[in-house]
Amino acid sequence: MSDWLGRLVSIAVIAGSGAFVTGALAGPAWAAAFLFVYLLITASIGLRDRARLARWLKNPNHEEIPEGEGPWSEIYAQLHRMQRQQRESRASLSHVLWRFRQGAEAMPDGVLVLDADDRIEWMNPSAEAHFGMTLRRDRGQPVTNLIRQPAFVDYLAAQHFGEPLLLKGPGEGDRILTVQLVPYGDREKLLLSRDVTRWERLEAIRRDFIANVSHELRTPLTVVKGFLETLSDAQLVDEKVYRRSLALMTEQADRMQHLVEDLLTLSRLEDSRTPLREEPVDVPALLHAVVAEAESLSHGQHRITAGIGPAWLLAGRDELRSAFSNLVTNAVRYTPPGGEITVTWGIESGEPVMRVRDNGDGIAPEHIPRLTERFYRVDRGRSRASGGTGLGLAIVKHVLARHQARLAIESEEGRGSTFSCVFPAARMAPPSAKAAEVTPIRAA
């Protein structure tokens, strides 16, 4: 205020002096007085508006921009426009940042922002899950303090960001990540992470599958090739040895044929482009045929009983037959002679259930979750001796999945096993006027 008054006094003195000189030179005293007052008022208004502007600039508020007169009104109007443009620009930038953050937070891949010193500036929820971090707790931390694996530390130090790095996730789980650093700005970086656990498992399954198929085929091929070489080199072959060799070669050839057929069946079941051919299936007639086949395979060494209700299913006949046959013949193969096998079919709690129960050796608990894996065997030597391909339960699992059904396995060592196929109630179908013809299908 004192500064404003000082300026006003200075202007008044200058204006008064100017008015006095003007009056003395140009005319009467009243003209000089008028000029003095005019100059004083004009200077006062200018100082007032300037003081308003100075106060507003100390604490800008777009809702309280001062009002002025003359040229000051244009100045204040321009300030108002600039303020509005700034607000709109800030709002637009905030919206863009908000959308970027929303998009980054919704990404299934992890995004972690590092500054020039490799300290954490921001991360999305996927990155928090991948690395076991939280933004609130770990912001500002060096990333190498939290991801301590030597491979990652070397990758960060090498500054070779062209290729991603395969990394085991933190914690005791088996999560596998690929991480890649992307430089941007002034030595800043984005650390991108992706959970590839499923793909690595599939790759491991593929490798195991190829190894198992190669092993399963190599054994019978070695046997066949050995007998062929023996017969080719011999001058005279005893008829008994000759017939024995032919029988063993035929057995091994059948084993290879069964394996190839099961592989083709499994491939067809896994192909989503292969439609399920649904029709009303006479399950009682189908199971009676399966039980008859099991009795033939058993050669009277087992007691096989059946309790089969009248329910029909809307299903793929051949696929259903393959699944049921695999379960029943597996029970025959893995139940010692003299054992009992029971096959039942009926409605339980409103759902159709096919169950195969035996009193064989049973299965240890650690093996049960893996029984439906391809080529998985509890006892490899015994499985091969029984004539199985190791694909039977994998086929059962895929057939049931195509029918929205599930496989339940209960077993206890020394007391036998129970395999149950539980179908949804929606799969039940009314009996057809003509009983379905059932053709035998070989079981794996």
- Give the pLDDT confidence of 254-286 residue by residue, as tens digits: 878 878 887 888 788 877 777 888 899 999 999
User: In this predicted model, what pLDDT tens digit does every residue of 172-181 receive, in sequence order?
Assistant: 567 889 899 8
- The SS3 assignment for 61 reads coil
- The SS3 assignment for 8 reads helix
203-270 — its CATH code?
1.10.287.130
Name, in order, each residue with C-beta under 8 angstroms of 114's C-beta and a sequence gap of 6 or more.
120, 121, 143, 181, 188, 189, 190, 191
Q: Is the pTM of this model over 0.75?
A: no
Residue 27 pLDDT greater than 60, yes or no: no
User: In this predicted model, what pLDDT tens digit does every residue of 143-164 receive, in sequence order?
Assistant: 988 888 888 889 888 887 778 8
| Rounded distance between C-alpha atoms, residue 310 and residue 428, angstroms | 11
| Rounded distance between C-alpha atoms, residue 125 and residue 111, angstroms | 8
Instruction: Give the pLDDT of residue 46.
Output: 66
The side-by-side arrangement of strands in the sheet containing 428-429 is 279-281, 312-315, 428-429
Q: Name the percent of the chain lying above pLDDT 90.
A: 26
Burial grade of 3 (CB within 10 A; 0-12, 13-18, 19 or more): exposed
DSSP 119: B
Question: What is the number of helices (H) and of strands (E) in the chain?
Answer: 13, 13
Residue with the bigger pLDDT between 3 and 37: it is 37
The CATH fold assigned to 279-429 is: Heat Shock Protein 90 (3.30.565)
| Rounded distance between C-alpha atoms, residue 236 and residue 350, angstroms | 68
Distances (CA, A) of 241 to 54, 237, 245: 117, 7, 6
Sign of the dihedral through C-alpha 276, 277, 282, 288: negative
Instruction: Give the pLDDT of residue 185.
Output: 79
| Rounded distance between C-alpha atoms, residue 110 and residue 117, angstroms | 20
Instruction: Give the pLDDT of residue 135.
Output: 87
| Residue extents of the structural domains in the chain | 2-95, 107-195, 203-270, 279-429
User: In this predicted model, what pLDDT tens digit does every residue of 215-258 receive, in sequence order?
Assistant: 777 878 888 888 788 777 766 667 777 788 888 888 888 878 87
Q: CB–CB of 312/281 below 8 Å? A: yes
Instruction: Give the pLDDT of residue 2.
Output: 46
Q: In whole angstroms, what separates CA 134 from the centre of its chain?
A: 21
Residue 18 pLDDT greater than 70, yes or no: no
Distances (CA, A) of 4 to 52, 54, 114, 293: 11, 11, 52, 114
Tell me the average pLDDT across 129-141: 89
User: In this predicted model, what pLDDT tens digit does every residue of 402-427 receive, in sequence order?
Assistant: 999 999 999 988 889 999 999 999 99
Among all chains, which residue has been given the structure tokens 């793909």? 199
Residue 71 pLDDT greater than 60, yes or no: yes
Residue 73 pLDDT greater than 60, yes or no: yes
Residue 26 pLDDT greater than 80, yes or no: no
Q: CB–CB of 390/326 below 8 Å? A: no
Q: How confident is the model at residue 328 (pLDDT cuts 50, 70, 90)?
A: very high
Of 409, 310, 291, nearest to 352 by C-alpha is 310
Superfamily the domain 107-195 falls into: PAS domain (3.30.450.20)
The side-by-side arrangement of strands in the sheet containing 188-195 is 120-123, 110-114, 188-195, 176-184, 165-168
User: In this predicted model, what pLDDT tens digit does every residue of 110-130 receive, in sequence order?
Assistant: 888 899 899 999 888 888 888
DSSP 409-423: EEEETTTEEEEEEE-
Q: Which helix (H) or strand (E) holds 342?
A: strand 340-348
Q: How confident is the model at residue 63 (pLDDT cuts 50, 70, 90)?
A: low
User: In this predicted model, what pLDDT tens digit does every residue of 421-439 receive, in sequence order?
Assistant: 999 999 998 886 444 444 4
Instruction: Give the pLDDT of residue 439.
Output: 40
Q: Which helix (H) or strand (E) holds 333?
A: helix 317-334
| Rounded distance between C-alpha atoms, residue 168 and residue 152, angstroms | 10
| Rounded distance between C-alpha atoms, residue 200 and residue 205, angstroms | 9
Of 270, 392, 420, 268, nearest to 334 by C-alpha is 392
Q: What is the mean pLDDT of the chain?
A: 79
Instruction: Give the pLDDT of residue 355.
Output: 96
Tell me the average pLDDT across 22-37: 54
Other CB atoms within 10 A of residue 200 CB: 16
Lowest mean pLDDT among 103-107, 242-246, 320-324, 440-444: 440-444
- The SS3 assignment for 288 reads helix
